[in-house]
């Protein structure tokens, strides 16, 4: 907790300085009064425009929906949303990514208030550190987005907008407890007066590991997580505004062999060989200045710094990493007329990742310039843009894009778009996860950045405020895709593949709004051409999602869930075998214990998960909640374990922990109290 207290002290010190000189509204509105909050795209477009008229399709999950879902972190917020898959790549440490429209999770750019503060090492463990109590809303854009953001958004962008100071002093305290020794305590306070506003959010979360099949190897990682964040806004003048944020997070994560950190690390037998003990510390600082030059022009300067430190024991191998991310951007928005707007700018991003096990440390620097124009002619909107980046490892990268919208009438709109995006790799975490007990080295043998060519289109139909239907079709061709292989010496090799990765998607979404109920239904279909094995983890071919929300006199009941179609497991993981004795942890160390008469599934079954949450107000300042996640208690290990012996040329190889296609926790029951004052 020392780093948390240090960060808290720093934020208080900074707030004193800010009281002398700063405030911001994080919005990019030219005329803020013209737009309602839920209708405005803030960070993801870098210019204010109403979602209902945007050439780019944006899905927004607001604060009300976040509360209705009973979300505890960003992963809970986005679950049961069509086209979104939470990708778990390791059953003993739960490294997480988020897939958009079938693209691998490494192609999703995660932003916090428009800042790229997560990548590689930080992202696979960083998603869970974004607590729902700090989120105002989430904006999701699918498809290539490199013109405005540079590296990473081949699949799209998820932008988390945090809560900003507003109004009179107010505070909220939330406490939850539930299954698996789950505990959550969060507290927030916010105040704004005249030119200055301050908000503080702190959380502490605990969850025990889960060993569903009682083989002494957990499938769901236990953790103790603490976070603290402070946002400050200040208006220097009516034209000059500042937003700044400081945050810190500390996490202990333990998965695999059942036992405490010390017990597992001190055990040189099989328990340590199937365990991952991870200590992470993060510190983030970001600032945004907005200066309104005149009625037509506005300049924005962004800067952020992230420090991520990890000290871990991976299956008997000590892994230590130190990651620094620096990002700066200066852009100018010019509204020349109501028909023509330009956004132009330059950015610099660097990441230094020093790993004790890497063959060589990976330090990259990217300098980019971009131009985005927004043209409106009657009912037609056209947004062409272009970007040029220079990467110190991969050289020049050129990424154009265009988005077009045509409103046939007030109820029907057509969108079509296309373009290119790229991704510059950093470390093996982005492609596969896992180390070998006998030790290894990481070899980065890539010579080209991954690059995609994307086309997409959708039809949006709206009938009054009652019904909204959207049909979206997309195609993404990814060249120079990167994958991971083991060398003959047991090291990890990251390299480009010769074959393209092609992903075709069709997504339908329908929302119905009644007086006492809201209904959302979705369906996604995905087809892959992946001859080189670039997908790394299993991805669904079909997904059905739903959400039913009922509200009456302050009482709220939410049901949400998803149905997942069979996945082609053999195409991603290859052939493999189960253990001849599932009850013995020791037997997994010896490939001779593979049961050659018990092959792993080549295809996963259909499965369904459902979640529910009831919120009941008690007076004006207290709410009581009760929820169940995964109501039907579906668990992959009831079908087969996530552990398996991969099939090698000379027989089974050493067991691995990445054979994942379904839920690894089971039914989760919780309840809580929320007090506001």
pLDDT tens sequence across 564-576: 999 999 998 899 9
Give 385-411 pLDDT, tens digit per residue: 999 999 998 899 999 999 999 999 999
pLDDT over threshold 90, residue 355: no
What integer pLDDT is reported at residue 92 of this predicted model?
A: 84
Q: What structural domains does the chain harbor? A: 165-304 (2.40.160), 538-677 (no CATH)
Pairing mode of beta strands 442-444, 492-496: parallel
Nearest to 196 by CA among 241, 136, 246: 241
pTM exceeding 0.85: yes
Confidence of residue 5 (pLDDT cuts 50, 70, 90): very low
For residues 539 and 572, give the distance between their C-alpha atoms in angstroms, rounded to a whole number: 9
Determine whether 506 is exposed, middle or buried from the number of CB atoms within 10 Å of its CB (0-12, 13-18, 19+).
middle
Dihedral sign (CA 119, 248, 223, 622): negative
β-sheet with 156-162: strand ranges across: 58-62, 135-142, 156-162, 108-112
pLDDT over threshold 60, residue 477: yes
Give 118-176 pLDDT, tens digit per residue: 776 667 777 878 888 889 999 999 888 889 999 889 999 999 999 888 888 889 999 99
Residue 377 CA neighbour count, 13 Å, CB half? 4
H or E element: which one contains 21? helix 2-21
For 643, list phi and psi in degrees, rounded to 5.
-85, 140
For residues 117 and 125, give the distance between their C-alpha atoms in angstroms, rounded to a whole number: 13
Confidence of residue 64 (pLDDT cuts 50, 70, 90): confident
471-479 mean pLDDT: 95
Pairing mode of beta strands 651-652, 668-676: unpaired
Residue 166 CA neighbour count, 13 Å, CB half? 6
Most confident among 114-123, 219-228, 433-442 (mean pLDDT): 219-228
DSSP letter assigned to residue 33: G
Confidence of residue 21 (pLDDT cuts 50, 70, 90): very low
**Selected residue with higher pLDDT from 11 and 1:** 1
State how far the alpha carbon of 87 is from the alpha carbons of 66, 117, 178, 522, 593, in Å: 20, 20, 24, 19, 29
What is the per-residue DSSP string for 576-611? EEEES-TT-SGGGG-GGGEEEEEEPPSBPPPEEEEE
101-119 mean pLDDT: 88
What integer pLDDT is reported at residue 3 of this predicted model?
A: 44
């Amino acid at each position: 907790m020392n780093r948390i207290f240090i960060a808290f002290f720093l934020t208080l010190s900074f707030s004193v300085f800010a009281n002398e000189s700063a405030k911001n509204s994080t919005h990019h509105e030219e005329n803020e009064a013209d737009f309602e909050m839920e209708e405005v795209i803030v960070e993801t477009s870098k210019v204010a425009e109403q979602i209902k008229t945007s050439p780019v399709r944006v899905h927004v999950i607001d604060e009300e929906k976040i509360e209705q879902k009973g979300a505890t972190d960003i992963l809970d917020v986005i679950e049961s949303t069509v086209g979104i898959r939470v990708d778990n790549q390791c059953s003993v440490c739960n490294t997480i990514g988020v897939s958009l429209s079938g693209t691998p999770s490494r192609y999703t750019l995660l932003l916090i208030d428009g800042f790229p503060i997560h990548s590689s090492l930080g992202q696979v463990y960083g998603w869970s550190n974004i607590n729902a109590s700090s989120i105002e809303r989430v904006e999701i854009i699918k498809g290539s987005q490199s013109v405005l953001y540079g590296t990473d958004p081949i699949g799209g962008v998820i932008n988390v907008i945090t809560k900003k100071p507003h109004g009179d002093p107010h505070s909220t305290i939330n406490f939850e407890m539930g299954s698996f020794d789950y505990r959550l305590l969060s507290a927030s306070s916010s105040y704004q007066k005249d030119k200055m506003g301050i908000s503080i959010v702190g959380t502490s979360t605990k969850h025990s590991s889960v060993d569903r099949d009682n083989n002494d190897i957990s499938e769901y990682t236990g953790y103790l997580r603490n976070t603290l964040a402070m946002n400050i806004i200040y208006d220097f003048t009516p034209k000059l505004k500042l937003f700044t944020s400081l945050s810190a997070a500390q996490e202990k994560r333990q998965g695999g062999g059942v036992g405490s950190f010390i017990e597992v690390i001190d055990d040189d037998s099989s328990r340590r060989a199937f365990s991952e003990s991870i200590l992470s510390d993060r510190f983030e600082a970001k600032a945004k200045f907005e200066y309104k030059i005149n009625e037509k022009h506005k300049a924005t300067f962004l800067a952020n710094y992230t420090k991520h430190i990890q000290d871990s024991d991976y299956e008997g191998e000590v892994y230590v990493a130190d990651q620094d991310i620096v990002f700066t951007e200066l852009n100018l928005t010019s509204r020349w007329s109501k028909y023509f707007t330009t956004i132009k700018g330059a950015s610099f991003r660097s990441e230094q990742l020093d790993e004790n096990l890497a063959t060589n440390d990976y330090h990259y620097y990217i300098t980019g310039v971009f131009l985005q124009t927004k043209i409106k002619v009657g009912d037609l909107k056209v947004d062409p843009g272009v970007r040029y980046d220079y990467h110190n490892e991969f050289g020049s990268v050129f990424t154009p894009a265009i988005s077009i919208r045509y409103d046939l009438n007030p109820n029907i709109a057509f969108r079509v778009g296309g373009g290119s995006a790229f991704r510059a790799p950093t470390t093996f975490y982005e492609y596969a996860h896992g180390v070998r007990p006998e030790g290894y080295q990481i070899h980065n043998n890539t010579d080209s950045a991954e690059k995609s060519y994307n086309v997409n289109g959708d039809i949006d139909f709206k009938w009054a405020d009652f019904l909204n239907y959207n049909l979206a079709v997309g195609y993404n061709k990814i060249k120079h895709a990167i994958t991971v292989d083991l060398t003959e010496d047991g090291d990890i090799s990251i390299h480009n593949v010769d074959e393209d990765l092609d992903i075709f998607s069709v997504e339908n979404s329908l929302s119905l709004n009644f007086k006492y109920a809201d209904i959302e239904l979705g369906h996604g279909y995905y087809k892959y051409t992946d001859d080189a094995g670039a997908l790394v983890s299993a991805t669904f071919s079909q997904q059905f999602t739903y959400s039913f929300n009922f509200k009456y006199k302050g009482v709220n009941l939410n049901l949400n869930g998803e149905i997942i179609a069979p996945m082609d497991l053999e195409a991603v993981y290859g052939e493999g075998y189960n253990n001849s004795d599932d009850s013995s942890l020791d037997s997994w160390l010896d490939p001779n214990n593979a049961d050659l008469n018990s092959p792993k599934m080549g295809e996963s079954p259909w499965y369904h998960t459902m979640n529910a949450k009831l919120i009941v107000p008690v007076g004006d300042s207290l709410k009581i909640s009760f929820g169940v996640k995964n109501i039907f208690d579906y668990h992959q290990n009831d079908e087969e374990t996530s552990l398996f012996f991969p099939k090698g040329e000379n027989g089974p190889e050493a067991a691995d922990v990445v054979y994942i296609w379904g839920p690894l926790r089971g039914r989760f029951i919780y309840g809580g109290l929320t007090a506001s004052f």
